[in-house]
Amino acid sequence: MLAPAGTPERDLLGKFRGPNGGFQVPSRSSYRQHERWRNDVFLRLRLLEAEGLLMVQQLVPCPRHGK
């Protein structure tokens, strides 16, 4: 079962760019905006994983600042 339509989690899954692209932060963002985006993605992924809707298999450091 997927997250209900229109939820932040469903919106997040719509931004997934596949196994080789993952999630991509907008390229024109400040460090603070980038960190907020990254933390938001992690939080939503953890929620989806806790509900058993997906399993995170790999986290790749951001090439911009290595986190």
pLDDT of 1: 44
Percent of the chain with pLDDT over 70: 73
Say which residues have a Cβ less than 8 Å from residue 15's Cβ, sequence separation at least 6. Answer: 23, 24
21 vs 58, residue with greater confidence:
58
pTM of the model: 0.64
Q: How far is CA 15 from the centre of its chain?
A: 8
Does residue 13 register a pLDDT over 60? Answer: yes
Take residue 43 and report the two structure tokens written for it: 């939080």
